[in-house]
Amino acid sequence: MTVSAPIAVALDGPNLETVVTWARSTGPFVSTMKIGLETYLRDGDQAVHSVREASGGRDVFLDLKLHDIPNTVAGAARSIAHLQPTYLTVHASGGAAMIAAAVEALPETKITAVTILTSLDEATLDSVGMRGPALDAACRLAELAVGAGARAIVCSPQEVAAIRGVVPAEIVLITPGVRPAGAALGDQARVATPEQALADGADLLVIGRPITAAEDPARAAEQLSRGLIS
């Protein structure tokens, strides 16, 4: 029996052919395909069309992390409206007016506010002048973003329980920095296992290299999915 888990596969590949192969092989086992800057800037709209088709019509998470003045972000959001992504990311630190501009420009898409990147630790936050600790900063940004109309929030699994407690139940919480027990951390600083992230209130898990760098990505996706919904 095919199973489908709340996983967004991060499709950060060296070329479109590889990305499409990953989408085709993992699509039966996950809910969402995440297309980030590397892939979108290289392959453009074709990446979205090809991934959507190869994955069997899975949700598209367009992870562009827009961050600019409100007028520019609104224009950027309108420029990809024809792609009809389920999710489009913006940086919550861009402020309420910027987030609201994206929401107004793409009302059918879940504008997704990124709080604190999972690659940042407390020392790095301090060095860039972000008032921490990370938990407090993430909660502040999440509340600001939801107040501006964001319908999804990206946060590390270490903050997801606290954010679940301060935003409405219908807000989708998305957690990168998810690593199966024993997996390499890579460039992630604030991580948790998939099981723990879901238990703490996450709705969608972003998982990349533990699936795409596996010898058999389809098998890795299937094993992760079965472990989460069994």
* Residues catalogued as catalytic: 65
State the amino acid at position 213 in one-letter form.
Answer: A
Beta bridge partners of 153: 113, 173
Number of DSSP helices (H) and strands (E) in the chain, helices first: 11, 8
List, in order, residues 6 or more apart from 156 with CB less than 8 Å away. Answer: 116, 118, 134, 138, 175, 176, 177, 190, 191, 192
How far apart are alpha carbons 36 and 26 in whole angstroms?
Answer: 17
Nearest to 60 by CA among 89, 38, 92, 99: 89
What are the DSSP calls for 4-42, one per residue?
-EEEEEE---SSHHHHHHHHHHHGGGEEEEEEEHHHHHH
Which H helix or E strand runs over 70?
helix 70-79
Q: What is the radius of gyration, based on Cα positions, of the chain? A: 17
Q: How many residues does the chain have?
A: 230
List, in order, residues 6 or more apart from 225 with CB less than 8 Å away. Answer: 3, 4, 5, 7, 29, 30
